[in-house]
Amino acid sequence: MASRGFSAYISNSRASSAILLLPLTDHIIVNARAYVYLSITALFWGGNSVAGKMAVGHVSPMMLTTLRWLIALAVILVLMTPQIRRDWQKIRQHWLQLLAYGAIGFTMFNAFLYSAVQYTSAINAVILQAGIPMLIFIFNFALFKMKASFAQVIGFTVTLIGVLITAAHGDLASLVRLSFNFGDALMILACIVYAAYTVALRWKPAMHWQSFIAAPAFGALLSAIPLLVWEIGKDAAIMPDATGWAIVLYAAIFPSLMSQVLYVRGVEMIGANRAGLFINAIPVFGTLLSVLLVEEIFRPFHLVALALVLGGIAVAERGRPKPPQ
């Protein structure tokens, strides 16, 4: 009897331990899935900067922005119309907010990005995007008093130094003279825009991800059309050639659709501050793709900036505030 009692005690203890471990296991699985989603997102977005550089002379910036969302929206309507119909009442209820997400996070960011790479290198464009997590933290703190750990502050600071080195092209004295490349200035504006979009996702209406992507995509197309008209009026529009169409298709499918879906899911799963840190992986993928595809020169200051960026994300992620047990 004693033996049976002891066995029952051990069995119950194991069952209790297993039950206690379930939330921890689920937490680990959620983190792992979010890390995969956000890493793939960073890969596609790194490729987006390189695609913008490759587009120079093959398709103009606003033409590329408009066509990518036209194609992306067509794919969305073909594949996602049943879900859009189911969520139509919610879409109507939040239509202005959803269109604003598309205009700011989709069109404005890419319009600045594709314009920036007309004047600066793709490597600079992807490394400057490492400043987005720091901007997300600043916006969250200013608007919601959301605090970060000391390690996260150190990580953001290290990342900022890497961004400044990139913006200064390795010449820190240019920061004092404020002699920034025009393309780098446009890229910094793009970073501010996307950080604001990321923080605004906290007000995202509760709806299926297909519906949430569809409505902002429509907003992105609507807001891109006036920019295209402006570009045509300046006689600067370039219709895509064969290379240009390949770039448009890549931008429409991967950065426009797949990356947005994965990024929104990542923010939902681990929060904007932590998800934003994975934007720091964009310079790694983007730099490699720039060297391989665009044959840009990888300079010593790029290496220093990348080391600081990666060091910043490592410190900030390891030192993030721990969730309640």
SS3 string, 50-108, reads HHHHHCCCCCCHHHHHHHHHHHHHHHHHHHHHHHHHHCHHHHHHCHHHHHHHHHHHHHH
Distance CA 311, CA 241 (A): 41
What is the model's pTM?
A: 0.73
- 323 falls within a domain: no
Query: Is residue 28 assigned to a domain?
Result: yes
Residue-number span of the structural domain to which 82 is assigned: 2-318
pLDDT digits (tens, 9 = 90+) for 205-262: 888 888 888 999 999 999 999 999 999 999 999 999 999 999 999 999 998 888 878 8
Domain count, the chain: 1
Indicate whether 281 belongs to any domain: yes
* Per-residue pLDDT tens over the stretch 167-182: 666 666 655 554 567 8
Assigned domain for 62 exists: yes
| 259 in any annotated domain | yes
**Is residue 284 assigned to a domain?**
yes
Condensed to tens digits (0 to 9), the pLDDT of residues 265-318 reads 887 788 776 776 677 677 778 777 887 787 777 778 777 877 887 777 777 767
pLDDT of 259 reads 85
Does residue 324 fall inside a structural domain?
Answer: no
Residue ranges in the chain assigned as alpha helix (H): 2-54, 61-86, 88-93, 95-101, 109-116, 122-128, 132-144, 150-167, 173-177, 182-200, 209-233, 242-253, 259-270, 272-277, 282-289, 300-318
For the chain, give the longest Cα–Cα distance: 93
Is residue 45 a part of any domain in this protein? yes
Cα(117)–Cα(181) distance, integer angstroms: 11
